[in-house]
Structure formats: structure tokens, C-alpha cells
Amino acid sequence: MSGANTIEVIARAVIRRGDQVLLCQMKEGANWWFLPGGHVEFGELVKEALLRELEEELGLRQVTIKSLIGTVENKFPVGDRIQHELNLVFEVEETEEQLIESREVHLEFAFLDVNETLILPTALQNGLLEWLNSGKTFWKGLEPERVR
């Protein structure tokens, strides 16, 4: 999954109830939120990974992946290495409203207002806000470092 010279592919879900979006947070030590989902395993289709992660984390089965709404590339330090990831963000719809309850002891979930919540990476929050306001897909990539 993580390695010194890899790009991690992460499938993320945007599940809405009214004006709020389902977000996830580490139970201890985090003051920010992120979209539910997780890593795509080698040989696994992105949509399969997203359905698997939603079931593992929340027990959600009654969902439909509607469409890809955006992509975010992100790099950040983790200890002595750099984590590089590509987040594929999908609109996901509940086919029937389900109880939202974490199956992971280290995670909590809540429906929150995206405008009033710190979501990381910030590029993802910005893209999500754009999509919620305009309905247009987004790409939030890193700017290349130019050699002078």
C-alpha cells in the first residue's frame, strides 16, 4: 500500500443528505475531516475499492456510484518520506437511507456542512465546494516545480 516510491490511488465518496456531506475523522488527535473511502489495491477496480471501503468502514451496501466528480493530487511529508496520492472522488447515492455507524474503532463519521468544516487536503475541500456550487467536475493538481 505505502512505499517510498509509489503513488497511492485513493477512491473517495461524496454522500449527501440535504446540504450536508458525510465526512470521516480519526477519533484521536485530529481536528480535520476527510471524505470516506480508501486505497485501491493492485488489480482492483476503483469503483470496487470504493464499494469495499464503504462496506468495511460503515457497513454501507445500499449505495450507487453515480459519477466521477473530481480528482485531487496531493503530496505531504509522513515521517522521513513523502506520501504522494491521487484521490478519485465519486458522487455516491444511498438507495435507501442507512444508519451511519463506524465499524472502525479509530474512525468516526458525521454529516457536516462542507463550508464550516476543515477538510484535508484543502484542495479537495476547494474542489468539493466548487462542485457543490456549480455541478462541474474538478481537477486539483500540484503545480510542477520549474527548473530555472
- Residues 6-38 pLDDT 10s: 899 999 999 999 999 999 999 988 899 999 999
Give the three-state DSSP class for 132: helix
Q: Where are the domains of the chain?
A: 8-140
Residues 6+ apart with CB under 8 A from 27: 105, 106, 107, 108
Give residue 142's pLDDT band: very low, low, confident or very high (50, 70, 90). Answer: confident
Among 3.40.50.300, 3.90.79.10, 3.30.200.20, 3.40.1110.10, what is the CATH number of 8-140?
Answer: 3.90.79.10
Query: Given this model, what pLDDT does residue 78 score?
Result: 87
Task: Kindly list the distances between the CA atom of residue 55 and the CA atoms of 15, 122, 123, in Å, as whole numbers in the listed order.
Answer: 14, 26, 26
- Residues 42-67 pLDDT 10s: 999 999 999 999 999 999 999 999 99
pTM: predicted TM-score of the whole model, two decimal places: 0.90
- Residues 94-115 pLDDT 10s: 998 889 999 999 999 999 999 9
User: Pseudo-torsion of CA 84, 131, 64, 53, nearest 10°?
Assistant: 20
**Helix spans in the chain (H):** 46-58, 122-134
Which three cell numbers, joined as nine digits, stand for 17?
443528505
Which has more pLDDT, 104 or 2? 104
